[in-house]
Amino acid sequence: MKKLVLVLSFLVVGMTVFAADINLGDFPVGSWIDANYDAVWEFTSNNIRILGTDGSVIWDFSEKTINDFKVSIKEGAPAISLSCPEAGRSYTFIKPLTNTTLKMEIARPDKDLYTVTMAKK
């Protein structure tokens, strides 16, 4: 519960950082499966990667530019959001408190919002 209070009270607002400088704070680390794309989203304390189901690295945010990174509460749950100019997308990840899933939203220019609920790996 103390961790949730810390997440609620700590907001990182509108900064440009490199992923190596990202601090997910108390946002849950781990891996979640995007079954639509046979991809695994891996969150560590200081990086986010997209892996193939065979473990190959598809995308590594560690050397990419991250804009608008913030930790917040969305839909009553801890969330992180960021945009990445190299990917041309904005991402929001919402971790419900009552289960192990992770909701991901990807905003892409000229395309519909992509939303998926991912299962914990």
pLDDT of residue 2: 41
Q: Please state, for a pLDDT cut of 70, what percent of the chain lies above it.
A: 79
pTM of full prediction above 0.85: no
* DSSP-derived 3-state class of residue 15: strand
* DSSP-derived 3-state class of residue 11: coil
| 31, 40 contact by CB (below 8 A) | yes
Residue 72: which residues within 8 A CB-CB, separation 6 or more? 11, 79, 80, 81
- Say how many C-beta atoms besides its own lie within 10 A of residue 83's C-beta: 17
pLDDT of residue 19: 47
Handedness of CA 59, 61, 66, 72 (dihedral sign): positive
